[in-house]
Amino acid sequence: MTSRVQHQQASKPTTSPAQRPGPAYEDAVVRLRAVRKAYRRGTHVEEVLRGVDLQLRPAACYYLLGPSGCGKTTLLSIIGCILRPDGGSVELFGQDVTRLAEEQRAALRRTRIGFIFQKFHLLRGLNAVQNVIVPMTLLGVSERLAHRRAEELLELVGLKDYGNHDPRMMSVGQCQRVAIARALANDPELILADEPTASLDAESGPQIMALLRDLAHETGKTVLVVTHDARILEFADEIYELRNGTLARLR
Ligand SMILES: Nc1ncnc2c1ncn2[C@@H]1O[C@H](COP(=O)(O)OP(=O)(O)OP(=O)(O)O)[C@@H](O)[C@H]1O
Ligand SMILES: [Mg+2]
């Protein structure tokens, strides 16, 4: 469904031999150019991102690897309009989001980006179907429609008969599936997942990743997954590593 466009190299020259930029795409959903981010603690400045270039196309599943503390969550948060970079540009869906007001960024997060976190962040006191309904309620979707869609999404992630279950009584793999269904609620084009398989066992980790990859390939979504999990690398179309503040394409 997508055109895989222009496999020319990104135009910016590399600064280090280890840094191999990925391809450039005319229809990129995400386009980062020279993104920089530093954290200041008192007088100490930690430069986490030192010029990150990256292009992500539709219908593909990307992995982001790198040692603990190297800035993976920071980069994901910048792409997801949770954090703003100090420099460089971040284009989502053809629009530079660093220039948008906070309200517009929040609207993008609600409507076009789905987040999946390591620890699920499911809401207590709500059953599975109610958790999936929440993002739709925020957009004013009618209760009946939201309920129907939540049930369809739970079926999609293999939890057809679990709608009424309390997540506290579900396994971690099942909770992560509920979180994935919730991330898909508003049919986002871009799905960002931060270590989604970290709490999962040897069987459910690859199952979850196969599900995310199939979503990308079959429904045209762009999926970006931060992971340390060597068991699931086969599910990636492209793999990048973040090290010393820059990205290198591994595969
Ligand atoms: N809000 C913050 N204020 C100050 N420093 C921060 C903040 N968030 C992250 N850092 C620092 O920035 C660096 C990158 O953090 P980040 O969470 O992005 O790493 P990560 O690659 O996701 O690590 P992990 O694999 O352990 O999750 C770390 O050294 C961290 O301590
Ligand atoms: Mg992290």
The band of 9, judged by pLDDT with boundaries at 50, 70 and 90, is: very low
Is 45 part of a structural domain of the chain? Answer: no
| CA distance linking residue 116 with residue 104, whole number of Å | 21
Q: Give residue 198's pLDDT.
A: 85
Is 123 part of a structural domain of the chain? Answer: yes
The band of 23, judged by pLDDT with boundaries at 50, 70 and 90, is: confident
What is the CA(214)–ligand 1 centre distance, in A? Answer: 30
What is the CA(49)–ligand 2 centre distance, in A? Answer: 14
Ligand 1 pocket, residue 37 CB under 6 Å:
no
Is 172 part of a structural domain of the chain? Answer: yes
- pLDDT tens string 70-125: 999 999 999 999 999 999 999 999 999 999 999 999 999 999 999 998 888 999 99
Is 161 part of a structural domain of the chain? Answer: yes
Sequence-distant (6+) residues with CB within 8 A of 114 are 183, 184, 185, 186, 188, 190, 191, 192
What CATH number is associated with residue 211? Answer: 3.40.50.300
What mean pLDDT comes out for the span 179-192?
95
The band of 239, judged by pLDDT with boundaries at 50, 70 and 90, is: very high
Closest by Cα among 193, 233, 227 to 113: 193
Q: Give residue 164's pLDDT.
A: 97
Is 199 part of a structural domain of the chain? Answer: yes
* Average pLDDT value over all residues in the chain: 90
Q: Indicate whether 1 pLDDT > 50.
A: no
The pLDDT > 90 percentage for the chain reads 78
Is 91 part of a structural domain of the chain? Answer: no
pTM of the model as a whole: 0.89
Q: Indicate whether 42 pLDDT > 70.
A: yes
Q: Indicate whether 15 pLDDT > 50.
A: no
Nearest ligand 1 atom to alpha carbon 76: 18
Q: How many domains does the chain have?
A: 1
Is 195 part of a structural domain of the chain? Answer: yes
Ligand 1 pocket, residue 70 CB under 6 Å:
yes
Is 41 part of a structural domain of the chain? Answer: no
DSSP class of 9: B
Q: Give residue 59's pLDDT.
A: 97
Any bridge partners for residue 60, and if so which?
222
Q: Give residue 8's pLDDT.
A: 38
The parent domain of residue 149 ranges over 58-85+102-249
Q: Give residue 20's pLDDT.
A: 60
In this structure, how many other beta carbons lie within 10 angstroms of the beta carbon of residue 228? Answer: 13
Higher pLDDT, 221 or 203: 221
